[in-house]
Amino acid sequence: MPEDPDRARPRADLGSAALSRRVETIMAIAALVLLVVGCVVVLRPFFSALLWAMILTYSTWPAYAWLERRLQHRPSLAALIMTGLLALAFILPLILVATTLTDAATALADSLRQLLGRGPPPPDWVARLPLVGPELSASWRELASNTSEFAAFVQPYLANARAWAFGAGIAMGNAALELSLSVFAAFFLYRDGMHVIERIRTIGQRIVGDNVHHLLLVTSSTIRGVVYGTVGGAMAQGVLAALGFWLAEVPGALFLGSLTFLFGLVPGGPPLIWIAVTLWLVSVDRIGWALFMTLWGFFGISGVDNLIKPYLISRESQMPLLVVFLGVLGGALAFGFIGIFLGPTLLGVAYALLVDWSTGERGRHRAAAPSPPGDPAAPRN
């Protein structure tokens, strides 16, 4: 018996409507993907600066919250003062160091160029070295007396040293420009930070449920711990370096101490400064102070970082120190300098998820990492 055309028509309409909805869903997803890709392309040059702004804002949020209360809850004024303090603390030293490095490179190149006409004689202590001292001193004097041979010997090192100094100055200038953008973005993050955190909390709750509060606390404590540990360790290294350079009567001890602080933000950076100072002390025949600087640099400047950084990081973060260490080194290798802070944060969140999943107790660690007053990641009642 043939099918009634009136009954077949609704089925066709339903199939057409389902197909239309499917097409609309696919088009909506495609438009959303294109929108996300477009936003990533537009913001990609600023990712590093925005990450820096988030890290700086998050790690200094308790100070901002205290200042806002002192200013009778005027967020814009408090944000302006905090961004000014950030600029003084980070941007101004970088600009000064970059300018000084560029000037020092020019002065060093001029001084070495003058020495090319007359090679410097070897210090007296070279001849007193056991076994190789006399031969080394004689070869040095012969090289110094032959100006053309001396110039050919020194010229490659002179070019490399000058290029390195100019490159370091340019890199620090770029870092100052990036930090300037970060400080500019930090103003808006300070002012509107609570609204941003609420949006993140709402989105995270839809994705991972109530555990989002615990993950935000883990993220905030990890960021604070790494920032406090890195900056605190670098400050201790800078102070000890300046003290050692002053005791050894090294010219520009304060500047070299500030440079050690900046290099202390990078793993393995401070030895580049105190080893160079030690070699300079050896070159001017101050062997006793060179030995002192070697011991002071190894056990004092570089050693204090191994004590202060783990202590400050472990105070804020409940992660095992091995996870933090691997996060710092792996993050730096994968993402550059920003990875020093990004690596431990990623591992910290992953570690918290792994612990929660393996124990089946989502909120078990929440009480172990209390948030400080004014922390925007603290759960709201």
Altogether, the residues listed in the chain come to a count of 381
- According to DSSP, residue 372 is labeled P
Rounded CA separation 236/380 (Å): 37
Rounded CA separation 147/151 (Å): 6
pLDDT digits (tens, 9 = 90+) for 183-235: 888 899 898 888 887 887 787 777 766 777 777 777 777 777 777 888 888 88
Rounded CA separation 217/58 (Å): 11
Residue-level pLDDT at 343: 79
* Residue 266 CB contacts under 8 Å (≥ 6 apart), including other chains: 332, 337, 340
Percent of the chain with pLDDT over 90: 4
Do the beta carbons of residue 256 and residue 250 sit within 8 Å?
yes
* Residue 96 CB contacts under 8 Å (≥ 6 apart), including other chains: 258
Taking 60 as the threshold, does the pLDDT of residue 98 lie above it? Answer: yes
Do the beta carbons of residue 342 and residue 331 sit within 8 Å?
yes
CA distances from residue 37 to 33, 47, 176 in whole angstroms, order as listed = 6, 14, 29
pLDDT digits (tens, 9 = 90+) for 243-257: 999 998 888 788 888
Residue-level pLDDT at 368: 42
Q: Is the pTM of this model over 0.85?
A: no
Residue-level pLDDT at 5: 53
Q: Taking the CA of residue 357 as centre, how many other CA atoms within 13 Å lie in the half-sphere pointing to its CB? A: 8
Taking 50 as the threshold, does the pLDDT of residue 364 lie above it? Answer: no
* Residue 289 CB contacts under 8 Å (≥ 6 apart), including other chains: 248, 249, 281
Least confident of 67-76, 82-91, 208-217: 208-217
Rounded CA separation 92/84 (Å): 11
* Residue boundaries of the structural domains of the chain: 53-368
Token readout for 51 is 């990450």
Helix (H) and strand (E) counts for the chain? 15, 0
pLDDT band at 365 (very low <50, low <70, confident <90, very high): very low
Beta-strand ranges (E) seen in 46-147 are none
Taking 50 as the threshold, does the pLDDT of residue 171 lie above it? Answer: yes
3-state class (DSSP) for residue 177: helix
